[in-house]
Amino acid sequence: MNYQEFARTIGLIKEQDEWRDRCLNLIASENVQSKKVRAVAGSDFVHRYAEGHPGERYYKGTRYIDDIESNVKRDLKKLFNCKHTEVRPISGTNSNEAIFSKFVNAGDVVMANSTPGGGHISHHRMGALGKFTKNIIDIPLSEDGYHVDLDKAKFLIQSTKPAVIVLGKSLFLFPEPVKEISDICSEEGTRVIYDAAHVLGLIAGKRFQDPLSEGALLITASTHKTYFGPQRGVIISNMDDALWRKVDRGAFPGSSSNHHLGTLAQMALCTCEFVKFGEAYADQIIRNAKALGVALDKQGFTVEAKAFGFTESHQVAVNVKAHGGGSHVSNLLEENDIILNMNMLPHEPLKNHDNPEGLRIGTPEMTRFGMKEPEMERIAALMKECVIDGKTVKDEVNKFRADYQVVKYSFDEEDASLSSDP
């Protein structure tokens, strides 16, 4: 019986691989690793421990991971032009918890984006932040719902004197006003934390904004969305050394012990790829998102933030209330091998959480498979045929996707190019 279950699970893994190779994956929080990076997922590092810092481990046998960890930190400092990097968190939420544990005390007021306004669950009472304070207030948004109302924000910061303000979102179409918020916060002693989980690759690719130079104390992030690495976390800062020691202790032993050395090795490899290909990749992600927004609008969808050009990031938000709502439409599209997620929109009440009006659509993975603006127009047309016209488009989706199987912006692509030379 045990072997039968083992074999069945192997079969499910194979089915997943084959299925997703046929799909258009438009989940904004997902990406794909190159074959070279995936190939090391089963290295000896997956069996090992390495608590502490390189050269200062509590375990022996770490000489090679010490070099790898030191190198990835060096490369990240180069990418983000920063003084400090912490690579031991094993997720973006783990990064947030490490920071909140050191900069938020019980009873402190903290400002963060609301759930309808795009905020991540780790910024809220039921998430990581809620473990340290329940006094969490929403950052006020402008009428369109996708930008901060700076006048109201200034009033709230001055009247409530928050210890921390958390910028960055899960539904994240436009850059945050980091400089303006930081200028206000500096007068009140409020620290600005920027959660870049979704836009880390756009920041590394110099195509979004530079939160540290604009005044953020530090950046937290996950490393598998617009940054095409394994599922890990990172913390980045230019703070002084004394304050950084608090971050160090927040990461270890505060929120992690051993830090998953197998994925750390993958992080080192994908960072090498990002150093070389990241700017071109980030540029194309945003071009594709803009093109997709325009194309969906032309196909008759209600695309959010039209007055602002739909997006400046990797995401597009669409209101599909007229077509049955986000839950219905995302299920319908999944049946046709178009994968995305339902999402609350800024004007919605929290009670809509399980059946929101919106969809969140992302371009990172399809961009990495080589799709560009013309392909975004094709995706929009397929979505229109499925959602608005009521047609089954699964076969067309699979046929279309079959031409996009090689991971671009990677050393895989360089090898393919070299092997095809006469």
pLDDT, tens only, 343-380:
999 999 888 888 899 999 999 999 999 999 999 999 99
422 confidence band (pLDDT: 50, 70, 90):
very low
255 confidence band (pLDDT: 50, 70, 90):
confident
Matching residue, tokens 């998102």:
289
Query: How many contiguous H segments (helices) and E segments (strands) does the chain have?
Result: 15, 15
121 confidence band (pLDDT: 50, 70, 90):
confident
The Cα 258–Cα 248 span in angstroms is 14
Q: Taking Cα atoms as reference points, which of 350, 190, 133 lies closest to residue 124?
A: 133
| Average pLDDT value for residue range 58-72 | 96
Apex CA 407: angle with CA 402 and CA 408, to 5°?
115
pLDDT surpasses 90 at 325: yes
Rounded to the nearest 5 percent, the helix, strand and coil shares of the chain are 50, 15, 40
pLDDT surpasses 60 at 416: no
pLDDT surpasses 90 at 256: no
125 confidence band (pLDDT: 50, 70, 90):
confident
pLDDT surpasses 50 at 11: yes
Whole-structure pTM value:
0.95
pLDDT surpasses 60 at 418: no
Are 315 and 289 in contact by the 8 Å Cβ rule? The answer is yes
The confidence score (pLDDT) of residue 245 equals 95
| Average pLDDT value for residue range 85-102 | 94
The ranges assigned to domains in the chain are 38-270, 277-412
The confidence score (pLDDT) of residue 414 equals 65
Are 25 and 363 in contact by the 8 Å Cβ rule? The answer is no
What 8-state DSSP symbol labels residue 217? S
The confidence score (pLDDT) of residue 415 equals 62
The confidence score (pLDDT) of residue 417 equals 54
Task: Give CA separation, 261 vs 41, 64, 65, 113, in Å.
Answer: 10, 11, 7, 33
Per cent of the chain over pLDDT 70 is 97
The confidence score (pLDDT) of residue 223 equals 98
Q: pLDDT, tens digit, for every residue of 209-233?
A: 999 999 999 999 999 999 999 999 9
Q: 277-412, superfamily in CATH?
A: Aspartate Aminotransferase, domain 1 (3.90.1150.10)
Q: Taking Cα atoms as reference points, which of 220, 229, 194 lies closest to residue 95?
A: 220
Of residues 314 and 116, the one with the higher pLDDT is 314
Per cent of the chain over pLDDT 90 is 89
Strand 24-25 to strand 338-339: parallel, antiparallel, or no bridges (unpaired)?
Answer: parallel
- According to DSSP, the residues that pair with 136 across neighbouring strands are 110
The confidence score (pLDDT) of residue 257 equals 85
Matching residue, tokens 């050191």:
102
Q: What is the mean pLDDT of the chain?
A: 95
The confidence score (pLDDT) of residue 420 equals 42
The Cα 416–Cα 418 span in angstroms is 6
Amino acid at 258: N
Cis omega (within 30 of 0) for bond into 349: no
Q: What is the b/e burial string over 48-74, where b = at least 16 CB atoms within 10 angstroms of the residue's CB? A: bebbeebeebeeeebeebbebbeebbe
| Average pLDDT value for residue range 40-55 | 94
- According to DSSP, the residues that pair with 52 across neighbouring strands are 57
| Average pLDDT value for residue range 115-141 | 91
pLDDT surpasses 60 at 193: yes
242-256, 322-336, 376-390: segment of lowest average pLDDT: 242-256
CATH code, 38-270: 3.40.640.10
The confidence score (pLDDT) of residue 314 equals 98
The Cα 326–Cα 288 span in angstroms is 22
The confidence score (pLDDT) of residue 127 equals 86
pLDDT surpasses 70 at 110: yes
pLDDT surpasses 50 at 23: yes
The Cα 287–Cα 293 span in angstroms is 10
The Cα 49–Cα 257 span in angstroms is 9
Amino acid at 233: G
φ and ψ of 112, to 5 deg: -150, 165
The confidence score (pLDDT) of residue 350 equals 83
- According to DSSP, the residues that pair with 234 across neighbouring strands are 221
